[in-house]
Amino acid sequence: MKGTTSVLLTGLLVAAATAGCGADTTSGAPPASSTATAAGSPPPSSPEASSGPTAAPTSSAPPCVAGAWRSTGVSGRLGGAAGRIAGGTGTTMTVGAGGTTEVGFTGSQPVSFSAQAAGHTIRGQIQYTGSLRAAVRFQPRGAGAGAWQPQDDARQNDLRATVKLSEPFSVTLLDNASIGTLTGKQVPGTGDALDTLPILRGGTYTCSGNTLRVRTEQNGPQLDWTFTRAS
């Protein structure tokens, strides 16, 4: 019975990984942004639609981005409309005036995910701990919007993750494991839900007042992180 369960679980996890891999992992330009986000969460405004000229990339953080931030949550879809991701409240981020950015996950809420695979619902949670740090380059595209491009793949990486499935089986896929050297495809069963460089991946930003949204698009799932200014 144990062997049969393992085979079934493996089949479901492989199917989930296949269904969830919709991001372009090739280097270069990011994939086209999807307009879909999790229910009840409006998509951030598109930098391409912002008025004004596109500036040259700079390591200096725009004034509306620099500072200390605290996440109010993350949302996104995995593969088709049936896959969703949410959670992440309490994640902290500090963006220095020179672009150096540190993201902290210790004490943040888990990220939950759900997907459909082989006629089954797969649900689970990812609990991140530790931190990431990288220099971010910005390319403003009008007021309060632009490209968000972390450099050097966040090499100062102290990120760990515990990944648990609750459906169709209760199983722990990772237990406080260092994920700095992993890719999402190396941990089947979560599809694109396991983000090995959360927030510090290429994408876009929009900011207005005390709200900052970072949409990550390159080399992983397309996710929208929303922050409120802490200082």
pLDDT for position 196:
85
Burial (Cβ within 10 Å: 0-12, 13-18, ≥19) of residue 151: middle
pLDDT for position 30:
36
Phi, psi of 203 (to 5 degrees): 180, -135
pLDDT for position 191:
58
Two tokens, residue 139: 């390319």
Q: What are the per-10-residue average pLDDT scores of the chain (231 residues)?
A: 34 38 34 36 40 63 96 86 87 96 95 84 93 93 92 76 92 88 57 83 95 92 94 73
pLDDT for position 81:
58
pLDDT for position 164:
94
- Which contiguous run of DSSP H or E holds residue 205? strand 203-208
Two tokens, residue 152: 């050097």
pLDDT for position 190:
60
